[in-house]
Amino acid sequence: MMALSYERSAALFCMLVWLLLASLSTGLLLSLGSGWLGVITLWVLGLCPAALLLQHIKVRLIQPFYHLTTTIEAMRLEDYGQRFYTTDKSGILAQLQTETSQLCDHLQAYKSARDHQAILLFRLIEQLPSPIVVFDESNTLVHANDAFSNWTGKPWQTQKRLKAAHFSLIKTNGQWQFSHLSLAQQWQIRQSQIPIDDSHAHLLILTDVQSVVSQAQRDAWQKMIRILSHEIHNSLSPIKSLAQTLQMLQAGADTQADFEQALAVIVQRSDGLMSFVNRYASVARQHQLHTETVSIDALLSPIQVLYDTRVRCSIEQTFALHVDVSLLEQVLVNLITNALEASDETGMVDIIVSNTAQYAFIDILDEGQGLTNQDNLFVPFYTTKPNGKGIGLVLCKNIVEQHNGQLTLVNRTDKTGARARVQLPLELA
């Protein structure tokens, strides 16, 4: 049997009360000998007002729920001007009015703050130089910036409500990508979700990969030109000064020694400049690799012997590497030497070898003061050593990368010092 609704239950209750009252009062009058005139008078003067009173009670019971439903519907539509209202000054309805008003005020403040954040976000998007677009949950364009308009060749406002596929953007397994290979090769997509209108919109930032690469190349050229200019200037300045001095000297027996000394200095500085250019060329030189398979133990054992007791070696598991042993030994010797020089006379250097299914890791840890300028570690000829050349780490990085590996230097997290990590593709023994 279907249960009665609240409204039907209230109406049925009021009807039963009225019928009970009518039957009892009518029966009482008839039992007292009153005629039909008395019964009609009872119905007109008593039972009809009672019916109106019960109807009013029923409306009084049901009407607050209709008002509450209207208020909740308005809140769902983010219209907080519609409020639940009652004339009661106390009781449960007055308390319900207070609670709903406070809830509306809270939601209105939250909506205002959210809308303000969305406005700030959209303003920020409009100021950024990269193409940025926002799609809603149905992948429809809702907002973009001028850079995106330039990217598409049309104002984004005229393309509003177009699907993402119109811009060759598709979403696969939660990741956005281009459907055209040429766009995928030139542009990188960064994605995020932002709340807009009670839903999660998709914010996409398009980064021109070629411009990033070009900027990196320009930075590298600027660094190289700065270093070359510095070294060449340091070498040519004394050569120019000596040449000017020789022009002013008169040839003769008494000036022969000065001539020879000046020419010797010019030759020395010229040799130094030539050596610098040769060293700089060696930094980017592609080495001829003569690879062979060698176990990690056979690779590290002769190196550890070179440094006596100041170097400790720990190998978690034996494995084999396919490398140029001579070049890789040179890399490890340079890194260990740097670690020893960074530590004090009693400091130890630890070599910790580990591996995963694809890679081998050779960590060289020192107990020195750590790295102070990590941005310039692999800049050619940058050095913090008094007699350093500034090419050791660059050569090491070049050799490791030619083995399809990676060289990184970071500060230790367990104690003071630095950690150099050589990562190489692993050939399991």
What single string gives the DSSP state of each residue in 66-96? HHHHHHHHHHHTT-TT-----S-SSSHHHHH
**Is pLDDT of 147 > 70?**
yes
Render pLDDT for 297-338 as a digit per residue (tens, 0 to 9): 888 887 776 666 778 888 888 888 888 888 888 888 888 888
| Residue 361 pLDDT class (50, 70, 90 cuts) | very high
**Is pLDDT of 46 > 80?**
no
**Is pLDDT of 161 > 70?**
yes
The residue-averaged pLDDT of 184-197 equals: 81
**Is pLDDT of 381 > 60?**
no
Strand-pair partners of 199: 196
392-423 core/surface letters (b: 16 or more CB in 10 A; e: else): bbbbbbbbbeebebebebeebeeeebbbbbbb
pLDDT at 428: 46
Based on C-alpha coordinates, what's the Rg of the chain?
Answer: 44
pTM: 0.40
Residue with tokens 């609704």: 5
**Is pLDDT of 388 > 50?**
no
Rounded distance between C-alpha atoms, residue 47 and residue 34, angstroms: 16
pLDDT at 363: 92
Render pLDDT for 240-265 as a digit per residue (tens, 0 to 9): 666 777 667 665 556 667 666 667 66
Question: Whole-number mean pLDDT of the chain?
Answer: 77
Helix (H, G, I), strand (E, B) or coil at 355: strand
Residue 54's nearest CA partner among 13, 6, 23 is 13
Q: Give the single-character DSSP code of 4.
A: P
Most confident range (mean pLDDT) of 5-9, 148-152, 213-217 is 148-152
